[in-house]
């Protein structure tokens, strides 16, 4: 059945335009599924029953996988079987009778603005790498970029006079995001003073370069962020999307329109953006105090 998985991954890559990271995730989950079927001595698509998938889900629960990980596995399996039917490789979908595991909505970690500001004060801008880090983190926070979007930026994607950047997001969807004056200031300094000294002949137009003149890796950016979080003395754990979450939450706290924030984040579904409206209870209490007629009457 491995040949069908290869066909499905090609479909996800070519037809759906999924990123390499998403493809790796699908491949991992579905390889686990096919290996489980092999152990169960299932050798053809028509032999797969709903109970086989239920058993796999039960095994994953036994391994203490989180509900969202199990749900992702089941989603990958469902998509795989829908593809098999659509392409007429199979006539039966064993997933139609299965229910997705109930999944709690996990709120992302968000730093306060003073905490973000403290992180953005830690770079030694007298050095090329420090200036790069300053410009890079300012852009991440100003534009709410995913790390994959940040490291994919080209010099040609930056429009400083117009005050925006062009971003290639999930599914190769392009969007335009405002930069803001602070990020523009540090980008100009980076492009003028640091990048020319980091660039090599092979660097092409990659915007943010490592100390060898190559494109930064996702892990490299995350390590840089964690370094400055620790340097700032912030005890909260930093994640790759930390500044993206802060961008969205702080905009909404400032009164930004939810639809506009959705567009800047590149979310296909507004419900994904709505999670940021549930984060800051102190902010909600303040809004309630200022806006509710019973509170204003006091």
For 167: left if phi > 0, alpha if psi spans -120 to 50, otherwise beta; the answer is beta
User: What is the token pair recorded at 166?
Assistant: 């062009």
Q: Is 72 a catalytic residue?
A: no
118 to 1, 109, 134, 246, 269: CA distances (angstroms):
53, 17, 12, 13, 32
Interior CA angle at 115 toward 110 and 120, to 5°? 110
Considering the candidates 8, 141, 190, 276, report the single residue annotated as catalytic: 276
Say which DSSP state 99 is in.
P
Q: Is 267 a catalytic residue?
A: yes
Name the strand (E) or helix (H) holding 249: helix 242-253
Considering the candidates 7, 170, 175, 214, report the single residue annotated as catalytic: 170
Q: Are 216 and 112 in contact (CB under 8 A)?
A: no
Considering the candidates 134, 244, 245, 250, report the single residue annotated as catalytic: 244
Q: Report d(CA 95, CA 90) in Å as an integer.
A: 13
Considering the candidates 81, 132, 134, 146, report the single residue annotated as catalytic: 146
Considering the candidates 134, 195, 241, 250, report the single residue annotated as catalytic: 241
Q: Is 276 a catalytic residue?
A: yes
> For residue 151, which of 167, 164, 138 has the smallest C-alpha distance?
167
Q: Is 141 a catalytic residue?
A: no
Q: Report d(CA 165, CA 242) in Å as an integer.
A: 20
Q: Is 113 a catalytic residue?
A: no
Considering the candidates 118, 175, 267, 283, report the single residue annotated as catalytic: 267
Q: Is 170 a catalytic residue?
A: yes
For 180: left if phi > 0, alpha if psi spans -120 to 50, otherwise beta; the answer is left
Give catalytic residues, as residue numbers.
146, 170, 241, 244, 267, 276
């Amino acid at each position: 059945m491995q040949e069908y998985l290869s066909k499905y991954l090609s479909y996800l890559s070519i037809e759906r335009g999924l990123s390499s990271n998403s493809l790796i995730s699908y491949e991992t989950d579905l390889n686990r599924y096919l290996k489980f079927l092999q152990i169960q001595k299932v050798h053809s698509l028509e032999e797969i029953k709903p109970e086989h998938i239920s058993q796999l889900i039960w095994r994953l629960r036994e391994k203490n996988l989180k509900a969202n990980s199990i749900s992702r596995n089941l989603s990958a399996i469902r998509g795989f079987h829908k593809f098999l039917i659509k392409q007429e490789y199979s006539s039966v979908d064993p997933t139609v009778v299965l229910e997705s595991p109930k999944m709690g909505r996990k709120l992302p970690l968000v730093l306060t603005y003073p905490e973000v500001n403290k992180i953005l004060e830690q770079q030694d801008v007298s050095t090329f790498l420090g200036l790069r880090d300053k410009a890079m983190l300012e852009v991440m926070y100003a534009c709410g970029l995913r790390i994959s979007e940040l490291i994919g930026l080209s010099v040609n994607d930056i429009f400083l006079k117009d005050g925006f950047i062009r971003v290639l997001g999930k599914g190769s969807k392009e969007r335009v995001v405002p930069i803001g004056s602070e990020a523009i200031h540090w980008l100009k300094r980076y492009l003028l003073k640091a990048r020319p000294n980091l660039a090599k002949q092979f660097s092409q137009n990659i915007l943010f370069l490592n100390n060898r003149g190559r494109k930064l890796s996702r892990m490299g950016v995350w390590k840089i962020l964690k370094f400055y979080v620790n340097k700032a003395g912030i005890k909260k754990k930093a994640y790759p999307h930390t500044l993206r979450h802060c961008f969205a939450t702080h905009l909404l706290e400032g009164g930004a329109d939810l639809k506009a924030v959705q567009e800047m984040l590149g979310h296909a579904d507004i419900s994904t953006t709505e999670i940021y409206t549930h984060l800051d209870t102190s902010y909600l209490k303040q809004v309630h105090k200022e806006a509710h007629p019973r509170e204003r009457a006091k």
